[in-house]
Amino acid sequence: MGYDLALVPIEGQRMESPKIDMSPEPGEKQAKRPRKRAQNLYGQSMGRKGMETRERLIRATVDLLERRSIRDVSVSDIATLAGTSSSSFYIYFADVSSAALAAAESVEQITPEIEDLLAHPWPRAEGQDNAVALVEAYVNLWSRHHAILRIRNLSADEGDKRFEEVRHRAVSRIHKLLESHIATLDGGLDPSAGASAILALMERISSIARLPLRRHHSRKSLIVAAAFLIANAMTSR
């Protein structure tokens, strides 16, 4: 029997195992690792039915928060509306606020329309029109999710770190776009502070635009007024 001398160790020399090349052949796809499945509160992987039940509970939570304060929503209310039991609720969520948190995690405060508006500089002549379109798009987005965004912001303002983090993630993309837009102008406005101020203004306008207005303002006039301020910060002099 012959031997491959390359594999025969020299005395005193440590023998290393031959390395095997596991890389795929040209044109061969690398096998994907299976994606980790979502888990319930007991650490169990959720199948299709579990995911559907969890989603029904989230939708029921949002539906109830459209009509009630979070303090007036119970686990039993949510479970009944979702067509399940309170014991099933506790498989997925610790309490009502945890269900509200899950709903808030799905909301990102940006749309393709907003992305497009902030993707290019605003000429001075188009500043007001672009700003009106931005505020209207933001108000419409807020209106679609107003209940859960209101709960999220109230909880964050009260110091709940979970809701603070969710709020930060939700506005990160639009904040970055606003910041970049302001930075390109180099007009003396701090980009980060300016972006935060614009977001705060649009959130406040979005909140009160849904309510009956006691003064002689219309929803449209509030949007136009907010847009006027934003246009001055977002267009070159």
Q: What is the pLDDT of residue 215?
A: 64
Region 71-94: mean pLDDT is 96
Residue type, 150: R
d(CA 215, CA 217): 6
8-46 pLDDT per residue, tens: 444 444 444 344 343 445 544 444 555 566 788 878 888
Q: Same fold for the domain at 48-102 and the one at 112-234?
A: no
108-117 pLDDT per residue, tens: 999 999 999 9
The number of beta carbons lying within 10 Å of the beta carbon of residue 223 is 22
d(CA 164, CA 189): 26
Query: Domain coordinates of the chain in residue numbers?
Result: 48-102, 112-234
Does the pLDDT at position 201 exceed 60? Answer: yes
Q: What secondary structure, in 3-state letters, does 145-192 show?
A: CHHHHHHHHHHHHCCCHHHHHHHHHHHHHHHHHHHHHHHHHCCCCCHH
Determine which of 22-26, 50-54, 83-87 has the lowest per-residue pLDDT on average.
22-26
Q: What is the pLDDT of residue 44?
A: 83
123-179 pLDDT per residue, tens: 889 999 999 999 999 999 999 999 999 999 999 999 999 999 999 999 999 999 999
d(CA 133, CA 128): 9
More reliable by pLDDT, 39 or 7 = 39
Overall CATH class of domain 48-102: mainly alpha
φ and ψ at 13, to 5 degrees? -100, 135
d(CA 235, CA 132): 13
Q: Do residues 223 and 130 lie in contact, with contact meaning Cβ atoms separated by under 8 Å?
A: no
Overall CATH class of domain 112-234: mainly alpha
